[in-house]
Every structure is written in C-alpha cells, then in structure tokens.
C-alpha cells in the first residue's frame, strides 16, 4: 500500500513561548524546559524505526529534530517549508500588546480570516499552501516508510485540519502541545489522523512544565 507514516511534532518550549510572545519566523532557540522536552521526546521515539527526520530550519524546531535524529542514528534535514507562519510586524509582541497596539489586526486574527495577513506577514491561505506542498514533497519520497516532521504550532494546525477536513476558519478545539507526538498516515490521495497529542513521555516530575500552544504562542 502506498502509505507514508508520519510523526508530526511541535518543537520544545522557548522563552518566548513562556512569555506568550509571537515567534513566527523569528529564530528563537529552546529554553531549558524545551531541551528537556526534546530529550524526553527522543527517548520516547527510540524504538520507532524512522527513515528520515525533517525539521524547520528555525533553531527551536531544528534542535528538537536533532535530538530525535541522534537517537535514531540519523542526521536531521532542515527544510524551510516547515517554518512557522510568518507574522511580520507582529513578531516579538505579546497577545496583550497586539490587542492594545493593533486592535484591528487582533480582531482579524481571532476571526481566522483566511486571506488576512499580518503586516509584512503570511495569510492562513498562503501558509496552508506552503505546508501541504511541503508535506507532498517530503512524504512522497518515503512511501512504505516512517518519517518525523518537526515544526511549529501553525504547521501542526494545518496538518490537523487537512487530516480531519476542517476549514481554516473553524475554531480550534484541539491542543498543540510542545513536544507532543502526533501520528498521521499520508497517501497520494489523502491524509489521515491516527493519533494526536501524546504527551505521556513528558509527564515525569520536572521543575518546569511544558507550555501549551494556543493562537497566541506560535
């Protein structure tokens, strides 16, 4: 059967996640909690047979992917097509700052208007096209195999919607946790959801709690 199994993973926590600052294409690395999450994730996936590990070229995703790849005896492969949505002039701001300084943009963002883009940024429609094109390109290389895609909250959101048939404007009712394990099946005709949001590997006692993703902390 022409199927590629996909482990889709959001990067570990960063300082900007913790502070609820919008990251987008801003290249923020993992914090201590994020590095712990990446290590736990890599250990949890040690018994999985992965043919390849692809990651966004932004540090937070690339270094999460590198932790997985090391345990697998692979090298992480950077791919800019897996980058987070570009939030342009809104990057670096907290949601509270955006609501105060850019109320019209905040309203359009909350409404998930597909064609709206932040100033100098990327619309949901453009993001969707980019992510689905990248998925097609990577998954088609690995028919009959299993790969990991390590990316960002906005990327995972697009994959979830594609696998469940939800429109871009549909409200989000699913969690996108840092370093959670999400499982998908890709064929040339479809994308299917197998499992979502597995964080059992992160539930050991630790000084820092992993951050949840919402619309404000991508």
Domains delineated in the chain: 4-213 (3.40.50.1240)
| 59 CB-side CA count, 13 A | 13
DSSP string, 52-84: EEEE-SSHHHHHHHHHHHHHHT--EEE-GGGPP
At residue 212, the pLDDT reads 34
Is residue 211 within 8 A of residue 18, CB to CB? The reply is yes
Q: Where are the alpha helices (DSSP H) in the chain?
A: 15-18, 32-44, 59-72, 95-101, 103-110, 124-139, 153-164
At residue 117, the pLDDT reads 97
Is residue 11 within 8 A of residue 61, CB to CB? The reply is yes
d(CA 70, CA 53): 10
At residue 204, the pLDDT reads 65
Residues belonging to the active site: 11, 84
> How do the pLDDT tens digits run along the chain, 218 residues long?
699 999 999 999 999 999 999 999 999 999 999 999 999 999 999 999 999 999 999 999 999 999 999 999 999 999 999 999 999 999 999 999 999 999 999 999 999 999 999 999 999 999 999 999 999 999 999 999 999 999 999 999 999 999 999 999 999 999 999 999 999 999 999 999 999 999 999 996 554 433 333 333 45
């Amino acid at each position: 059967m022409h199927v590629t199994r996909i482990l889709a993973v959001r990067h570990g926590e960063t300082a900007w996640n913790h502070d609820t600052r919008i990251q987008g294409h801003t290249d923020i690395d993992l914090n201590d909690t994020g590095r712990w999450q990446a290590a736990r994730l890599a250990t949890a996936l040690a018994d999985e047979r992965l043919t390849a590990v692809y990651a966004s070229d932004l540090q937070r995703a690339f270094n999460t992917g590198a932790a997985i790849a090391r345990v697998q005896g692979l090298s992480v492969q950077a791919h800019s097509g897996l980058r987070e949505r570009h939030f342009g002039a809104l990057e670096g701001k907290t949601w509270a700052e955006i609501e105060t300084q850019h109320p019209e943009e905040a309203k359009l963002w909350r409404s998930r208007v597909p064609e709206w883009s932040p100033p100098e940024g990327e619309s949901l429609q453009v993001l969707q096209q980019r992510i689905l094109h990248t998925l097609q390109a990577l998954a088609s290389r690995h028919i009959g195999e299993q790969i990991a895609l390590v990316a960002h909250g906005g990327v995972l959101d697009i994959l979830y919607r594609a696998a469940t048939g939800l429109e871009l404007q549909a409200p989000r009712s699913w969690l996108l946790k840092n370093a959670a394990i999400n499982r998908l099946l890709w064929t040339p005709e479809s994308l299917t959801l197998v499992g979502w949001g597995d964080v059992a590997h992160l539930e050991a006692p630790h000084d820092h709690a992993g951050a949840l993703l919402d619309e404000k902390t991508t």
